[in-house]
Amino acid sequence: KKYILDLVVTQNIKLHANYVLIKMTQANPLPEMLPGQFAEIRIDGSNTTFLRRPISINYVDKKTNEVWFLVQLVGDGTRKLATVKQGDIVNVVMPLGNGFTIPKDVTAFKPLLVGGGVGTAPMLMLGVELAKAGCKPTFLLGARSSKDLLQLKEFEKLGEVYTTTEDGSMGEQGYVTGHSLLNNNSFNMIYTCGPKPMMVSVAKYAKANGIECEVSLENMMACGVGACLCCVENTDEGHLCVCKDGPVFNIKKLLW
């Protein structure tokens, strides 16, 4: 079930020139949310009457009743959103989409969570939920440079963290799929979110090694509810909407 909520901004933290972490709350308990789900956040004050931006759910803090959104400043909408201040009201439709699959029995479950750029955002909540379920997630996070690797401290609380940067400023130089961790491993599940070329190569690696894999697609979205069809992805069941049927897909379904 999705809700249209007027949330109150509790914090807007600038993580680095291009990213902010916005925390929001409401008087009532927030709805249940699954890792991988997203919200459509309304951006007020733009030229059109309003527009919404899909932003993945980064984390839900049950103790403080806050939901976290990691926002990358990519265009006018997100730049506008990044200016919200404590106390501002933001209209949010959530939770949308499906979530990542967490098995009931996690004995012998060895998940690897691969995130690239702002695609690391849903990996935090997923890591938290996996840890709660009783397994120890391993993270492989990639970005252009060390300053684009966000929330590392949060990830380190949950499991081992490996990094790659394109400029070599942190971790191994290159892309996540070239990391030495992948040479010799016993992972039996890979979850990934990030730029499409990265996810395609992660999916290829998983396929080649017989590892189960779920990807969270970030196709262009507008309506967020399956009405405009601008987010379709080709699957073994034909065209599916990433916003409604996804954003999480098992790679077996995708025609990559």
Residue ranges binding ligand FES (CB under 6 A): 221-224, 226-231, 241, 243
Q: How far is the CB of 216 from ligand FES (least distance, A)?
A: 14
Cβ 153 to ligand FES, closest distance in Å?
33
Say if CB 7 and CB 25 are below 8 A apart.
yes
**In this complex, which beta carbon is closest to ligand FES, that of residue 78 or of residue 164?**
78
Separation of alpha carbons 248 and 189, rounded Å = 14
Shortest Å, Cβ 59 to ligand FES: 24
Q: How many residues does the chain have?
A: 256
Of 103 and 226, nearer to ligand FES (C-beta) is 226
Amino acid at 149: L
Q: Which is nearer to ligand FES, 40 or 66 (CB)?
A: 40
Longest dimension (CA), the chain: 53
Nearer to ligand FES, 116 or 224 (CB): 224
The 3 state secondary structure assigned to 217-242 is CCCCCCCCCCCCCCCEEEEECEEEEH
Query: Residue 206 and residue 191: Cα distance in Å, rounded?
Result: 10
- Quote the DSSP letter at residue 86: T
Q: Pairing relation of β-strands 248-250 and 212-216?
A: antiparallel
Residue 189 or 221 with smaller CB distance to ligand FES: 221
Nearest distance, CB of residue 247 and ligand FES, angstroms: 10
Q: What is the DSSP letter of 254?
A: B
State in angstroms the smallest separation of the CB of 227 from ligand FES.
Answer: 5
- The contacts found for 50-55 with CB under 8 angstroms, 24 or more apart, are 50/91, 51/77, 52/93, 52/224, 53/77, 53/78, 53/81, 54/96, 54/221, 54/224, 54/243, 55/81
Nearer to ligand FES, 13 or 227 (CB): 227
Closest contact distance (angstroms) between CB of 158 and ligand FES is: 31
